[in-house]
Structure 1
């Protein structure tokens, strides 16, 4: 059945009929080429004979088809490769070990430390470690494995030093794994201490040193963050590159405590932590893009801006923590309603901002060596 849609106020035929029109023009072009030796393409011929408004409508409709098709293919690729429950491939297993280890590190860095936390983590992590040992013959030198052992070491040591029973947790690991946990190098993972006095001269540091010493913190002092400081950090970030200098990034500064609480309850990644003095939401204005192929560009440009802003805040002696906004439909709808976000802005990330406490713990979050993620094409 032939369908009809309205584009730019003009009715045009959809799918089957659109293909018929294109095929008809192609036949016409072939006939013209045979008769006149003129190799005019289908597109050129259509632009020559069709009204401009109709041609614009057809082009926009074609972009819409590409958008849905390419988004579907992208979703298929993601679905084939992301780390599903019960993964078998090494990187997918490492992904889940890293995620679970990070949960332990967050618990270890919590100012209001809760003994016995992480039962759900311990119900999954030993299984993933077993699988990692089966897949990677050199697991003992694997950065992910070593970080997990170090985080587990700190967890067990802190409990045992306080006289807490860890027999259940110990029973979940093999004897060899327990030896690795007990003898783990704490430089490989766990928590570390961030001191306010060490941030006093951040503005004088080289980029390498500033970047090396920046860590995300989730607890801040009670000192208010001035709007002037935030505006300065945002202005410092305006040199961030963007596609064709279209600058799609938009910034929402949230200072209302009730709004911050509601927004973070929806986000769900920092439950149990005190509210930050300021919450920044980075979005990307979809009106700054021109074709369906740029559907993901907002994440790229917004992410670049986010990293620049994190370093700008650090250089000013302000603590920060980026939080993802990769929401399901319900969470995104709730966030949009809460913050009254326009339809044309896509969520990129949150950033918590505040002054450093005199001393605070945070996740060590061990990084890979750059050489291990680099492929050289010559």
Structure 2
């Protein structure tokens, strides 16, 4: 009888959790009038500027493509002054700079719009803008060292006492920033904790690190800003982009010689709110995963074998 009641309670719990998920997405998504206009416009600019970049990266871009989109971008940015060093504005300037350069030999079908683009680019530091396209690229051939590196990855649960320094964190995060994200919107956020008391409190809420939580010198929480996404079809994308970023973060830690272990956040909304409060994480961010990290201790360590399915068992080829 008790097991049947437990199953019923779990089923009913889905309704509560999904209702709370719905409210969070409605409250903070990129179309919500309740979310800050500046944040919404920043993500919108990144997404649309990236469509220009993608168009320019095609083998044979259509000359002066996307004029309606470019006009809408210019109109939107004319009424918005972003913060200093804002990525979205720099990305748009670079994309329009390269858009101009790509079609200099083709007469513009809309001279007025071409003039607006030129004025916009000239009004900003186009030489230092980060957007646009990279030229002359060749993908490297097979890299045996990279293959060995990927094969050597494992999850560690035994660390040295020392937390990562500010300099080491900066190096690791710089590598992790190479993670792909949908339309380059980069919704992932990273929260870092090195205070033992704070780490202990957060891992107590996570509940899956018992037995080694007291030995974690550095803890990361990967999150994703809901405001980067809009519409019901994108409701799960924060986890998709956050997962990609988390994997790149772990590979970056490995590459710099640090041990690490992902810690799941299969939790309810109540626990998520408690973790956000304990970790000073904004409500608009969804928690994706925790990552414990540290240096090699002064002794050899053990790790779970974690055997994998054979590739043929999980891969279906559809020719």
Give the TM-score band, short-chain normalised: 0.5 to 0.7
1:308 aligns with one of 248, 251, 269: 248
Change (3 A) 1:8 1:333: closer
**Correspondence for 1:326:** 266
**Is the 1:225–1:278 Cα contact (8 Å) retained in structure 2?**
yes
**Is the 2:163–2:194 Cα contact (8 Å) retained in structure 1?**
no
Q: What are the residue-to-residue correspondences of 1:108-147 with 2, within 5 Å?
A: none
SS in 1 for 2:277: helix
- Computing the radius of gyration over CA atoms, which structure comes out larger, 1 or 2? 1
Count of residues in Structure 1 that have an aligned counterpart in Structure 2: 178
**Is the 2:190–2:222 Cα contact (8 Å) retained in structure 1?**
yes
Supply the distance in 1 between the matched residues of 2:157 and 2:236 (Cα, whole angstroms): 29
2:220 aligns with one of 280, 297, 300: 280
1:298 aligns with one of 229, 238, 245: 238
Q: Which has the higher strand share?
A: 1
Structure 2: tracts of 5 or more residues without a match: 1-31, 35-142
SS in 1 for 2:189: strand
**Correspondence for 1:249:** 188
**Is the 2:193–2:220 Cα contact (8 Å) retained in structure 1?**
yes
Which digits, 9 at most, give the CA deviation of each residue in 1:271-325, with x for residues without a partner? 1213311000000011111222111111111111111111111111100000011
SS in 2 for 1:265: helix
SS in 1 for 2:161: coil
1:340 is displaced (CA, Å) by: 2.1
Supply the distance in 2 between the matched residues of 1:291 and 1:244 (Cα, whole angstroms): 15
1:343 is displaced (CA, Å) by: 1.6
Aligned-residue RMSD, C-alpha = 1.9
Q: What are the residue-to-residue correspondences of 1:231-270 with 2, within 5 Å?
A: 231-270=170-209
In the TM superposition, structure 1's runs of 4+ consecutive aligned residues that sit over 2 Å from their partners are none
**Is the 1:314–1:320 Cα contact (8 Å) retained in structure 2?**
yes
**Correspondence for 1:95:** none
- Of structures 1 and 2, the one with the larger relative CO (CA 8 A, separation 6+) is 2
SS in 2 for 1:337: helix
Supply the distance in 2 between the matched residues of 1:324 and 1:263 (Cα, whole angstroms): 13
TM-score, with normalisation over the residues of structure 1?
Answer: 0.45
Supply the distance in 1 between the matched residues of 2:33 and 2:275 (Cα, whole angstroms): 32
**Correspondence for 1:346:** 286
**Is the 1:217–1:362 Cα contact (8 Å) retained in structure 2?**
yes
**Is the 1:261–1:275 Cα contact (8 Å) retained in structure 2?**
no
Change (3 A) 1:8 1:206: closer
Note if 1:228 corresponds to 2:174: no
SS in 1 for 2:302: strand
Which digits, 9 at most, give the CA deviation of each residue in 1:205-251, with x for residues without a partner? 82211111111111101133212111211111111110111000000
Structure 1: tracts of 5 or more residues without a match: 1-6, 10-203
**Is the 2:226–2:238 Cα contact (8 Å) retained in structure 1?**
yes
Q: What are the residue-to-residue correspondences of 1:78-97 with 2, within 5 Å?
A: none
Supply the distance in 2 between the matched residues of 1:284 and 1:318 (Cα, whole angstroms): 24
